[in-house]
Amino acid sequence: MILCLRSLALAATALACQPGGGADPGASADPDRMLASGMTARQVIEARALHFKDLGGSFKAVRDQLATASPNPSLVRLATQEVKYASDDLPGWFPAGTGPETGVEMRAFAEVWSDSEGFAEISTRFRESAAALHATAQDDDLDAARSQVRAVGEACKDCHDRYRAEED
Amino acid sequence: MRVWDLPTRAFHWALVSMSLFAWGSAELGELAWHRRAGLAILGLLVFRLYWGFAGSSTARFHHFIRGPRAVIVYARRLHLRNPAYHIGHNPLSGLGAVALLALLALQVALGLFAVDVDGLESGPLSHWVSFDVGRLAAETHEIVFGALAMLVTLHVSAIAFYAFYKRDNLLEAMLRGDRCVPETRTPAHLAPHWRVLPGLLLAGAAIWLIATVLGSA
């Protein structure tokens, strides 16, 4: 139930901040400037961090279930759905004007925006692999899910290596 | 005169190498190796706990866990340059050993439940806890690492202090097991070799339990 509500919230925010969102990149670095989505850059950045934290939790839920000898199929379906929804929304978490130029503390590199093609490509890989993962879960094919979870993990890691700073 | 028996020395140096390996593998992001190192340290600690009750006299906890008075008395004489010729730990180093072992045990326990921020890497028992608890474990793991690093620095500095200020070579004692002490000292009571076996079995059982039965590694 909690998971479902979280998906709704994720979907709602994704609608609120579509990529680009009409904001003019680099027009102002003021983090409290209102973006076209009706949120300030600071709010978007904070929401983004929360989205990623939720995604981390959902991905842990998938991995925890698949690590057990007899995973609960409905939990796997639910958790892979969470990851899938997040992967659909992810490009919307990075509207123009919410990068490091705002001065807000973040681990995202400016390359997310300057290399938008590369970022789009890698987030597509995440979206497709997450959709495939959810499909295996819907088929209750746990072996396929176990191998697909690795593909999703690879996509996550590749993106982090390219577009995210190391932790302090 | 024999001060440290072979199992205690083997434990000590295995712990040193495994800790360095765990540190290095974590820094390099080789988390699969980091988990293995952590489990190895867990096994070593289980063995040391057992050896603290069943080992040679100098390895036993009741031999080197001393009251605060003994520690204070010893600490007051620390500046004297003549070696005190303890067979095994002195009251202060006994305290340090307990602190190191306890902190390492805490560090291993935290690592078992730790989860990284992406939910991609996690300790072998992390599926028993929520993401938030796993994150808390990971953050505390980081803090305890700092404390351990400080304690190890203190430990190595103390060895250097004894070597250069007191002219007392403790490193050699931990390498070869022997130390020159006046003949009047009561020698350490050495445990028979076979007594290592139950400790190894216990350590192996602990690793097996966590890696396969309870864990997901």
Q: Which domain holds residue A108?
A: 38-163
Question: CA–CA separation, B60 vs A110, rounded Å?
Answer: 57
The pLDDT, as a whole number, for residue A28 is: 52
Distance from CA of A27 to the nearest CA of B (A): 32
Residue A122 lies in a domain: yes
Under an 8 A CB cutoff, do A56 and B127 touch?
no
Tokens of B121: 């890497």
Q: Which residue has better confidence, B60 or B185?
A: B60
Tokens of B14: 């295995």
The pLDDT, as a whole number, for residue A39 is: 92
pLDDT digits (tens, 9 = 90+) for B187-217: 889 999 999 999 999 999 999 999 887 776 4
Under an 8 A CB cutoff, do B216 and A67 touch?
yes
pLDDT digits (tens, 9 = 90+) for B111-161: 999 999 888 899 999 989 999 999 999 999 999 999 999 999 999 999 999
Q: Residue B182 above 90 pLDDT?
A: no
The chain-wide mean pLDDT, for chain B, equals 92
Chain B contact present for A163, CB below 8 A: no
Under an 8 A CB cutoff, do A157 and B120 touch?
yes
Q: Mean pLDDT throughout B87-101? A: 93
DSSP string, B87-134: SS--HHHHHHHHHHHHHHHHHHHHHHH-B-TTSSSB-TTGGGS-HHHH
The pLDDT, as a whole number, for residue A35 is: 87
User: Which of the residues A52, A55, A58, A60 would you substitute to probe the B interface, choosing the one with the greatest number of B C-beta atoms within 10 Å?
Assistant: A60
Instruction: Check: CB of residue A151 under 8 Å from CB of residue A133.
Output: yes
Q: Residue B1 above 90 pLDDT?
A: no
Q: Which residue positions in chain A have pLDDT lower than 70? A: 1-28, 168
Q: Which residues contact B197 (CB under 8 A, 6 or more apart)?
A: none
Q: What percentage of chain B carries pLDDT values higher than 70? A: 98
Under an 8 A CB cutoff, do A156 and B120 touch?
yes
The pLDDT, as a whole number, for residue B168 is: 86
The pLDDT, as a whole number, for residue B216 is: 60
Instruction: Check: CB of residue A154 under 8 Å from CB of residue A132.
Output: no
Interface of A with B in 15-54 (CB under 8 A): 52-53
The pLDDT, as a whole number, for residue A9 is: 46
Q: Is B208 exposed, middle or buried (0-12, 13-18, 19+ CB in 10 A)?
A: middle
Question: CA–CA separation, B48 vs B203, rounded Å?
Answer: 9
In CATH, B6-202 is 1.10.260.40: no
Chain B interface with A: residues with Cβ < 8 Å: 115-120, 122, 126-127, 130-132, 134, 216
Q: Which value does ipTM take for this structure? A: 0.71
Residue A153 lies in a domain: yes
Compute CA distances B1 → A93, A141, B52, B53, B187, whole Å.
69, 65, 20, 22, 7
Here the CATH number for the domain that contains residue A85 is: 1.20.120.10
Helix (H, G, I), strand (E, B) or coil at B216: coil
pLDDT digits (tens, 9 = 90+) for A70-103: 899 999 999 999 999 999 999 999 999 999 999 9
Q: For residue A56, which residues of chain B lie inside 8 Å, CB to CB?
A: 115-120, 131
Residue A112 lies in a domain: yes
Q: For residue B132, which residues of chain A lie inside 8 Å, CB to CB?
A: 57
Q: Which residue has better confidence, B156 or B79?
A: B156
Q: Residue B95 above 60 pLDDT?
A: yes
Helix (H, G, I), strand (E, B) or coil at A108: strand
The pLDDT, as a whole number, for residue A22 is: 43
Q: Mean pLDDT throughout B38-65? A: 96
Q: Residue B77 above 90 pLDDT?
A: no
Chain B contact present for A61, CB below 8 A: yes
Q: Residue B183 above 80 pLDDT?
A: no
Question: CA–CA separation, A62 vs A80, rounded Å?
Answer: 6
Total domains present in chain A: 1
Q: For residue A157, which residues of chain B lie inside 8 Å, CB to CB?
A: 120
Q: Name which of A56, A67, A68 is nearest B119 (Cβ-Cβ).
A: A56
Q: Is A27 exposed, middle or buried (0-12, 13-18, 19+ CB in 10 A)?
A: exposed
Q: For residue B119, which residues of chain A lie inside 8 Å, CB to CB?
A: 55-61, 63
Under an 8 A CB cutoff, do A63 and B119 touch?
yes
Banded model confidence at residue B81, pLDDT cuts 50, 70, 90: confident
Residue B189 carries which DSSP code? -
Residue A24 lies in a domain: no
The pLDDT, as a whole number, for residue B15 is: 98
